[in-house]
Structure 1
Amino acid sequence: MCGRFALFSDPPRIARRLGLPEEEAQWQARYNIPPGTWIPAARRRDDDSPLLLDEMWWGYKPHWAKENAPEPINATVEKVATSNYFKGAFAHHRCLVPADGWFEWVAVDGQKKPHFLCREDREPIWLAAIWAERADGVPGCAILTEPARGIAQQIHPRMPLVLDDESLEPWLDPDMTDRETLRQVIHHLSAEYITHWPVTTRVNKPIENDPKLIEPVTSGSD
């Protein structure tokens, strides 16, 4: 799954990668981003709108959903294209969430120890996501997850769907709505680029937010 991530890369750098004006990217570095908060994302408001970088609520609940409907933060790649709750957004409201890495927890001697997962070269990553307008009129999103690959399998059975650079444009293309076509052109980042290390348990508290949260710790330290 993906329940916590970090985004601290220079915002204009993120904008440039998408071919957007640098002034569109304005946010503070965050080292411990939890669900139920505003997060930067790239999307189109509708099929005819230009691509933009704005903020979305991390929690997906379409405006047509019943009051007691779930508000998931993730959607699995296995069901996102077929589930009644997600398939409309998958076809028409795909988006990208920029990140520098994500956190996951592994059981060690009966305790859950946090790890930070990211690219080996420390380049930003792009998380595939979907969004829908909520009942309150704001966009809410869910990050897609897939079975963990490569070294990430050591930490958790699932991981966010991290796209390779060539998949960013087609993922955001409003004309691509067919599931099989998307399967052929969308590719995840090769697992060989992913690395991880243990980090402080301070990350367990969403209120914590500083660069030391992603620094490696030795066994037994905090």
Structure 2
Amino acid sequence: MCGRFALNATTDELIREFVAQGGRPQDWRPGWEPAFSIAPTDLAPVIRAHEGRELELARWDWPKPTNRPKGPPIINARIEKLTGAFWRTGFARARCLVPMTGYFEWTGEKGDKTPHYIHGTGLLAAAGMTRLVDSEPRFVVITREGRDAAGDVHDRMPSFLPTETWDEWLSDAPGDPGLQQFLTDASEHVAGTLHSRIVDRRVNSVRGAGPTDPTLIEPAG
């Protein structure tokens, strides 16, 4: 799964990396500074298709089904279930990219968890879905089976996409089993490039992890 992530980039850097390549400058630029502990229900940038690519801030909290009003926020969607009833509409019409520089996973027993920071060499783009809830954008991260360095830590990981596949993912291509397989195959390439390191246990607590503290992603001393 993916329950916390980092995004060490400014708004301008995100515009250059994700939006400018889509061929459309953006007039409105949401204020964003590097954050090293983005947790469920926090706001974070996402990229969606809108006359090119557009950057917006969205809340990491997918609306719950009416028969499940309580419980923790819905933050992940399993790639294997994208064509099922709950995710079908978002998969077909509301795909997005979620920029990250890395994410956190934990190993060990409850009360004695070891945090791992899993990252690449630069900005990563996780496949996601977004929708409006009472005029507020929300998003969810799509996860896949863990593999390589990420799989050594957890059996699930975000579905990261290489640059050359972004347009296809953000296009109006139908959300069918063919696109589901495309996402599975494309995310394989990025999964094999990731690395993992143990970081300080301060990140174990959302309250104790100041989101602007860059030492949260540094190797544990």
Band of TM-score, shorter chain? 0.7 to 0.9
Deviation of the 1:110 alpha carbon:
7.3
Cα 1:91/1:201, change in 2 over 3 Å: same
Unaligned ranges ≥5, structure 1: none
Corresponding position of 1:139: 137
CA contact (8 A) 2:26 2:54 kept: no
Q: Is the 8 A contact 2:49 2:171 kept in 1?
A: no
Give 2:38's aligned residue: 33
Flag the 1:144–1:184 CA change in 2: closer, same or farther, 3 A.
Answer: closer
1:168 and 2:173 correspond: no
CA shift, 1:11, in A, is 2.8
* Partner residue in 1 for 2:119: 118
Task: Tell me if the contact between 2:97 and 2:127 (Cα under 8 Å) persists in the aligned partners.
Answer: yes
CA distance in 2, matches of 1:110, 1:33: 21
Task: Give 1:17-28 correspondences, 5 Å limit.
Answer: 17-18=17-18, 19=20, 20-21=24-25, 24=29, 26-28=31-33
- With structure 1 as the length reference, what TM-score do the two structures score? 0.85
1:1-222 to 2 correspondences below 5 Å? 1-18=1-18, 19=20, 20-21=24-25, 24=29, 26-44=31-49, 49-61=51-63, 65-66=65-66, 68-69=68-69, 71-82=73-84, 84-107=85-108, 111-119=112-120, 122-134=121-133, 136-174=134-172, 176-183=173-180, 185-186=182-183, 187-188=186-187, 189-207=189-207, 208-209=210-211, 210-218=213-221
SS in 1 for 2:56: strand
Query: Cα distance 1:204–1:110, how it changes in 2: closer, same or farther (>3 A)?
Result: closer
Query: How far apart in 2 are the matches of 1:148 and 1:178?
Result: 23
Corresponding letter in the other structure for 1:51: R
SS state of the match for residue 139, structure 1? strand
Q: Does the aligned pair in 1 maintain the 2:2–2:104 contact within 8 Å? A: yes
What SS does the corresponding residue of 2:114 show, helix, strand or coil?
Answer: strand
Shift of the alpha carbon at 1:111? 2.0
Give the paired residue count.
Answer: 208
1:109 CA displacement: 10
How far off is 1:9 after superposition?
A: 2.0
Q: What SS does the aligned partner of 2:122 have?
A: coil
Question: Could you tell me which amino acid in structure 1 is paired with residue 74 of structure 2?
Answer: P
TM-score scaled by length of structure 2: 0.85
CA distance in 1, matches of 2:136, 2:98: 16
Identity rate, percent: 30
> Which structure features the higher share of helix residues?
2
Q: Classify 1:110/1:40 alpha carbon distance in 2 versus 1 (closer, same or farther; 3 Å).
A: closer
Letter in 1 for 2:57: E
Q: Deviations over 1:155-197 (max 9, x none)?
A: 11111111111111111112x0142332454411433310010
Offset, 1:138: 1.1
